[in-house]
Amino acid sequence: MAYILALNCGSSSLKYQVFDADSKSVKVSGTVEKIGESDSFITQKQADGTKEKKEVPMHNHNEALGIVMTMLRDASIDLNDITAVGHRVVHGGDKFNCSAEITDEVIRTIEELSPLAPLHNPANLMGIVVAKQLLPNARQVAVFDTAFHQTMPDYAYRYAVPAAWYRELGVRRYGFHGTSHLYVSKRAAKMLGKPANEVNLITLHIGSGASAAAIRGGKSIDTSMGLTPLSGLTMSTRAGDIDAGIIFYVMDRLGITAKQVETHLNKQSGILGLSEGHIDHRDVWNNMANNDCCRLALDVEANNIKKYIGGFMAELGRVDAIVFTAGVGENDERVRALVCDGLDELGIKLDNDANNGALSRIGAGESVISAPDSKVKVFMIPTNEELVIVEDTLAIANGTYDPNHLEMGYSFK
C-alpha cells in the first residue's frame, strides 16, 4: 500500500487528506483548527464517514502535525507507506509556472515571496519544514495557487504603475485559486465534449475567498485577484476591488496605520462589512427580510461578479460556458440566479429548476444549470483541489509530470 498526503496549512489551521496512490480515493481526511490557541482541536473523518474529534493543545504547526501523525496511526495508516506529500503553497510569484519538487532552493524562494502573502506562505513553509522532519523518506512537492495563471499575457498581468515597481518589487497580477480553476476547466471541457485546448470559459470560484478567471483554449488569460488575494470579487471578509485612494483618505481621516487598513480590508470588509455583521451567506439570506444591509451585500456581490463576466466575455470574444464552483458557487442557487439575472442579451439563461436542484451539499454532482436555448452553457461543478495536488505530487514522484497542464495526463480531464 502506498499513500499520498495532501497538506494545506493556514495561519491557524491545517487541512489534510490521505489518498490511496493507486485508486486516488480518500482514505482519511481531517482539519486542525485554532492552532496557537488554548481551545485548539482536530477533527478526523474516515472513508466510511466515521468522525472523531479531539480537543488537544497545539501551540504551533509542529505540534499540530505531530498530532495528525498520531491520529493517522490510530486510523491504521502506516506512516512508512506515505511515499509523497503534496503541499498547497499560496504564492509562487512568477518563479513557478507549475508544481515543483521541494528542494532547499524552492524553500528559499517561497520564503522570499512571503511578503506577497504574509498570512499564507509562512504557514505553508512551516508545514513543509515539519513534514520533512516527520516523514523524511517521503518526496515533498509544492503545488502553487498562482501557477495556473502564469499563462496570462503581459497586458493582463501588468499594472499601470511605475515600471520600477514591477522590476524591483514584483508588483503585477498573479491570481490565485489556480488548482480550482484548473480542475473545473478540465471538467467543463469534458462536459462540453471538447478537448481542453479548444474551450473558452469563465470560471467563478465563489467561496469565503472568491475569484474569476478568463480561460482561452484551456489557459488562463486573465483573473480577478491580483498581487495579493485581496482584489477582485466581493468576498466574505475581503473588500475586493476598491479605489486605491480610499486607503490614503481613511488613513488620514482616522489616523490609522497601513497595517490597520490592511486588517480592515482583509478581515472586516466584503459581505461582513456590507451586511454589518454576517459572514455566512445563509445568515445573510435569513436576515434579508428585516435588514436591508443584507440585501445590499448580496446585490453588491452579484453585481461585481456580473461586471467580471461582461469584461471577460469582451476579452475572450467567444465563451462556451460559465462555471460556478466552491462553497457558495456550488451551494447557493440564489446567488447564481442573482448573478445570471438580466444576462439574456449576452446569451446567458438559467434553467430555474435545474439551478435549484444543483447543490453539492445534497449530493448533486456536475450539473448543467442553463436553459436549453442558452447560447452560453452554465455549469455547477464541485471543485477538487486536493485531487490536483495529489496527481501532481504522484506524477512528480513517478517522473511522469508534464509542466504543461494541457498535456498532463490528469485522470479527471
Active-site residues, by number, are: 145
Angle of the 178-192 helix axis to the 385-398 helix axis, nearest 10:
100
Concatenating the DSSP letter of every residue in 211-280 gives EEEEEETTEEEEES--SSTTSSS--SS---S--THHHHHHHHHHT--HHHHHHHHHHS-HHHHHHTS--S
Q: What are phi and psi of 370, to 5 degrees?
A: -90, 160
C-alpha cell read off for 74 = 490510530
C-alpha cell read off for 125 = 513553509
Alpha-carbon distance of 30 to 16, in angstroms, equals: 5
> Closest Cα to residue 261, out of 290, 221, 230?
230
Instruction: Answer left, alpha or beta for residue 363, where phi above 0 means left and psi between -120 and 50 means alpha.
Output: left
- The position carrying cell 516527520 is 134
Contacts for 333 with CB less than 8 Å, ≥ 6 apart: 355, 356, 358, 359
- The position carrying cell 494545506 is 8
C-alpha cell read off for 226 = 491580483
DSSP state of 136: T
Q: Which helix (H) or strand (E) holds 321?
A: strand 321-325
Are the beta carbons of 321 and 378 closer than 8 angstroms? yes
